[in-house]
Amino acid sequence: MHEGQHSVDLDGYFDSIERCRAKFSGLRILTGIELGEPHWFPDEAAAVLAAGPLDQVLGSIHCIRLDGGMLDASQFRKKEDIDFPAAVREYFRELLAMVDSGQAFETLAHLDYPKRYWLDGAAPYEEKDYEAEIRAILRAAAQRRPPAGQGGGGFPDRHPDGRIRRLQAGARPGLAVAPLILKPTSPAHGGAAVAREDGKVWLVSYALPGEVVEAEPRGRQGGVAVAATTRVIEPSPHRAPAPCPYFGACGGCQLQHAEYAYQLELKKQVVEEAWARADLRLPPDTPVLGMDEPWRYRIRGEFEAVAGAEGWRFGFHRMRSHFVLPIDTCLIHDLRIEHALPAFAQAANEMHIEGLQNLLLTVASISTPESAPSR
């Protein structure tokens, strides 16, 4: 921590977040923090990350080491006899050192921080004058990306069962944290299961009603506490291995850990409960229309585009996140759509397309002489 500065009041911050979420339940309020020079203060940075669940972590540089001390870039123009361009290059070298340090952050903040405090009367700031330094920083940042795509390199974030963790603490320094043991009793809309502990309601993802699970708190959603299953202690007889390699990281499917027939049963229960809250009753003989084969049935797909170190790729948003998870396969889409993804990515890369946001693919029916209607 820099001399004269104080650490953020994390307990107060998370308490304020929870109070805001409770007061404005219609808003999706995320948590986040900016780590300044985290490679200079690795222990302090680790303690901050261990304080609670964070949706976003930024890494940034404000200061450089100069003449045996630290100098904020905002003060460059106030220091006499400073070689301003050399100080800016030192700022970029420090930024590269932070990126290469492996510190845990997802977003590189204010790359052009010195530009805000450019020296009066000097030649205008031009990125091309620092192109080599900026390219080195961006290249290093791209190489930090995990193979699956966005989410920030350097995170020990893959759970043994394949899910991608958010930034989530273990114990706070000096405090022992008991594991959260929950037993969900009913399904909820969106694939989670509802559990109650000491009068508190939890929405537990990756758990099934009747199971006993160990879970991690993940903030709140609509005023209700949210947790993610980290270990199944007593599994449901309806639990099944998820066939998709991206399940748990991808925000698309939520129930692949349940047998398909049981998925339909859970969805019916959710509808029945929704009707009951409106003083309506679903007829008891109402059938649930499932599929004989619940795979490869979608003939229309919309995919998010993400630019990585190797060019464009396509995928879906991560669970409860704006970040994109690039994919190579999606078991619920028609195989022709899946095969088209790398072809479109290759075309976008070869054409040097910029600003690509998403890709919409639809499998068109092809009329043949045998299938054409008679006239």
Report the CATH number at residue 118: 3.20.20.140
Q: What is the CATH number of the domain that holds 209?
A: 2.40.50.140
Residues 117 and 60 in one domain: yes
Residues 21 and 125 in one domain: yes
pLDDT (tens, 9 = 90+) of the chain, 375 residues, equals 455 566 677 777 877 888 888 888 778 888 889 999 988 888 788 778 777 778 888 999 999 888 778 888 888 888 877 888 888 889 999 999 998 887 888 889 988 888 888 877 777 888 888 899 999 999 888 876 443 333 333 333 433 333 333 333 333 333 334 568 999 999 998 899 999 988 899 999 999 999 999 998 877 777 788 888 989 999 999 999 999 999 988 989 999 999 999 999 999 999 999 999 999 998 888 899 999 999 999 999 999 998 877 899 999 988 777 778 899 999 999 999 999 999 999 999 999 998 899 999 999 876 555 544 443
| CA end-to-end span of the chain | 81
Rounded to an integer, what distance in angstroms lies between the CA atom of residue 128 and that of residue 126? 5
Asked whether residue 206 is domain-assigned, the answer is: yes
Residues 249 and 353 in one domain: no
Q: Which residues of 89-128 are buried (b: 16+ CB within 10 A; e: fewer)?
A: bbbbebbbebbebebbbbebbebebbeeebbeeeeeeeee
Residues 205 and 120 in one domain: no
Domain count, the chain: 3
Output the pLDDT for position 156.
37
For 329, the domain range is 300-362
Asked whether residue 284 is domain-assigned, the answer is: no
Q: Which of 88, 122, 144 is the last residue of a domain?
A: 144
Asked whether residue 155 is domain-assigned, the answer is: no
Rounded to an integer, what distance in angstroms lies between the CA atom of residue 350 and that of residue 130? 27
Q: Which of 95, 127, 144 is the last residue of a domain?
A: 144
The β-bridge relationship of strands 56-60 and 193-197 is unpaired
Asked whether residue 128 is domain-assigned, the answer is: yes
Output the pLDDT for position 174.
36
Rounded to an integer, what distance in angstroms lies between the CA atom of residue 275 and that of residue 113? 54
Residues 338 and 266 in one domain: no
Output the pLDDT for position 312.
93
Token pair in block for residue 105: 């952050």
**What dihedral angle (degrees, nearest 10) is formed by the CA atoms of 82, 88, 90, 96?**
170
